[in-house]
Amino acid sequence: MRVTQGAFSFLPDLTETQVRAQIQYCLDQGWAPGIEYTDDPHPRNTYWEMWAQPLFDLKDAAGVMQEIKACREAWPDHYVRINAFDAGHGWETVRLSFIVQRPAREPGFKLSRTVAQGRVLSYRTEAYALDRPEGERHG
Amino acid sequence: MAEAVSDPPPRIDLRREAEAAGVLDVLDQLDRELIGLAPVKRRIRETAALLVVERARQSLGLQAEPPTLHMSFTGNPGTGKTTVALRMAEILHRLGYCRRGHLISVTRDDLVGQYIGHTAPKTKDVIKKAMGGVLFIDEAYYLYRPENERDYGQEAIEILLQVMENARDDLVVILAGYGDRMARFFESNPGFRSRIGLHVDFPDYGDDELLRIAEIMLDRMSFRFAPAAREAFAEYVALRRSQPHFANARSVRNALDRMRLRLAHRLYESGLEVGTEDLTTLVETDVRASRVFSGGLPAAN
């Protein structure tokens, strides 16, 4: 099941040129792109691992593309996303976030129902990938 | 076959090409705003011509190996290296050899770290910031300190060399510094010499050129010399040159700043009402009060 998080996730995967253009847009707006990766695709898994530091004060997307490449090489079976942070007054938040790499196999989520006392139903969503230990989930 | 013969070979007007890219504007601006520096201007014009021709070759589908654009600017302090580097970034940008055309100016401190493992990320950070533009490394020879074999500068040098080779589309590196020390630096780091396509030597300014520079600077600040002050300043330049720490245009600027100070002090102390004339005119005494006329800086400097 394809994970749909962040912008453009319902579209086909962005090509390198498209990723570069999006990043250039972020830089032109004065946002600082940061690279993050994870292998736990759960929608509530908000804070992914940071790859190096956010890239402040860049003018050209080439530097970011270089870091993305390094991150992909280090984590070929992980999700990798770009967060563009706007430090402007009143915003101070992520303005654009999109996935730039996803694992080849995305096994999706299990929904389990537990019947508790009084026939109350509680639901639990869990990624199948989590059955395996960290680092081996999408290999 | 018949078609190929009847088709006239395409022609390109190089001048129009350069004009369309806005290169002529930048070159004219360079001519107008920078006094003297004839050999530098010639080199910049030659380089611009080369780049325009390369572009024309490319558009005709000829083999167009992008020229090596890394440069070294050598010359004494205050001869306009940084200013010319800024213009160079502009030219490269307009011709499409440089995507953003910004200039990141750094020295050893910005590239070399203070402890093991600090240098590489620091240098790479700077390089990432300079991508799409020009990385200007001032006093580049400080990167190399042969007297300390554990100096981290070597690490920065290696990263730079690698980037200059592999990321030639992303970044242009300009190394700058005093002529003799740069020559020694290149001798001990042959990798740099071979990766740099353009060596530009900045000559010292002549006395009359410095005087003209002073007048342009004053004009920009809405000041001017009284005729006697102008003569005094011409003397000042000749004297200042023979004294230590002479830094061409930078010395002139500092001298002008001190003269403005004296002007302000003189007007304030006089207690009289002042008009535009008084506020904008530097008189002879403002110039003559400089210690350059009384034997110059103490020998300790």
Main-chain dihedrals φ then ψ at residue B81, nearest 5 degrees:
-65, -45
The 10s digit of each residue's pLDDT in B197-208 is 888 999 999 888
Kindly report the nearest CA distance between residue A19 and chain B, in angstroms.
17
> pLDDT over 90 for what percent of chain B?
32
Q: At residue B266, what is the residue type? A: R
Listed in sequence order, the residues at least 6 apart from B118 whose beta carbon sits closer than 8 Å to its beta carbon are B152
Mean pLDDT of chain A, nearest integer? 93
- Put simply, the answer to whether A62 touches B170 (Cβ < 8 Å) is yes
pLDDT attached to residue B1: 46
Q: Any chain A CB within 8 A of the CB of B106?
A: no
Residue with tokens 């990624």: A127
Span B90-138, pLDDT tens digits: 888 888 888 888 999 999 999 999 999 999 999 999 999 999 999 999 9
Q: Kindly provide the ipTM of the predicted complex, given to two decimals.
A: 0.81
**CB-closest option in B127, B132, B167 to A59:** B132
| A98-129: pLDDT as tens digits | 999 999 989 999 999 999 899 999 999 999 99
pLDDT at position B108: 93
Q: State the pLDDT at residue B299.
A: 47
* Residue A53 covered by a domain: yes
A51 lies in some domain:
yes
Q: Is B199 on the interface with A (CB under 8 A)?
A: no
d(CA B67, CA A94): 40
DSSP chain B: -HHHHHSPPP---HHHHHHHTTHHHHHHHHHHHS-S-HHHHHHHHHHHHHHHHHHHHHHTT---PPPP--EEEEE-TTSSHHHHHHHHHHHHHHTTSSSS--EEEE-HHHH--SSTTTHHHHHHHHHHHHTTEEEEEETGGGG--TT-TT-THHHHHHHHHHHHHHTTTTEEEEEEE-HHHHHHHHHH-HHHHHH--EEEEEPPPPHHHHHHHHHHHHHHTT-EE-HHHHHHHHHHHHHHHTSSS--HHHHHHHHHHHHHHHHHHHHHHH-----HHHHHEE-HHHHHTSGGGGT-S-TT-
Of A59, A64, A67, the CB nearest to B133: A59
DSSP assignment letter at A78? S
Neighbours of B241 (CB within 10 A): 16
User: What average pLDDT does this structure show over B21-44?
Assistant: 84
* Of the candidates B91, B96, B78, the residue with the CA atom closest to the CA atom of residue B36: B78
- The residues spanned by each domain of chain B are 2-202, 207-294
**Cβ-defined contacts of B60-65 (< 8 Å, 24+):** B60/B10, B60/B12
Instruction: Flag if B128 and A66 touch (Cβ within 8 Å).
Output: yes
Q: Do A63 and B133 touch (CB under 8 A)?
A: no
Task: Give residue B127's pLDDT.
Answer: 94
Beta-carbon contacts of B196 under 8 Å, excluding residues fewer than 6 positions away, are: B68, B70, B71, B72, B175
What pLDDT was estimated at residue B6?
61
- Model confidence at B300: pLDDT above 80: no
> According to the model, what pLDDT value does residue A120 have?
94
pLDDT at B35: 84
Q: What DSSP element (H or E) covers A22?
A: helix A16-28
Among partner residues A55, A60, A66, which is closest to B133 by beta-carbon distance? A60
Pairwise CA distance, residues B204 & B41, whole Å: 14
Do the domain assignments include residue A89? yes
pLDDT digits (tens, 9 = 90+) for B138-179: 999 999 888 888 889 999 999 999 999 888 888 999 999 998
Give the CATH number, domain containing residue A58: 3.30.190.10
CATH architecture of B207-294: Orthogonal Bundle (1.10)
Quick check: B100 and A60 CB within 8 A? yes
A114 in a domain, yes or no?
A: no
Using a pLDDT cut of 70, give the percent of chain B over it. Answer: 95
Measured in degrees and rounded to the nearest 5, phi and psi for residue B106 equal -130, 165
- Does the pLDDT value for residue B2 go beyond 70? no
Is A67 in Cβ contact with B131 (below 8 Å)?
Answer: no
Mutate to test the interface with B, among A23, A35, A60 (most CBs of B within 10 A): A60
Token code pair at residue A55: 């890239």
Q: What is the pLDDT of residue B297?
A: 60
* Residue range A55-102, pLDDT digits in tens: 999 999 999 999 999 999 999 999 999 999 999 999 999 999 999 999
Q: Judge whether B264 and B278 are in contact, CB under 8 Å.
A: no
In this prediction, residue A86 carries a pLDDT of 95
Could you tell me whether strands B171-177 and B71-75 are parallel, antiparallel, or unpaired per DSSP bridges? parallel
Please give the CATH topology (third level) of the domain spanning B2-202.
Answer: Rossmann fold (3.40.50)
Are the C-beta atoms of B293 and B239 separated by less than 8 Å?
Answer: yes
Q: Do A59 and B102 touch (CB under 8 A)?
A: yes
Q: Which residues of chain A lie closer than 8 angstroms to B171, CB-CB?
A: 62
Collect all residues of chain B within an 8 Å Cβ-Cβ radius of residue A55: 128
Q: Residue A64: closest CA among chain B residues belongs to which residue?
A: B128
Q: Which of residues 9-68 of B touch A (CB under 8 A)?
A: none
Q: How many domains does chain A have?
A: 1
Write out the residue range of the structural domain in which residue A82 sits. 16-106
Residue of B nearest to A52 (CA): B121
Cα–Cα dist A111/A97, whole Å: 26
Instruction: Name the band, by pLDDT with cuts 50, 70 and 90, for residue B301.
Output: very low
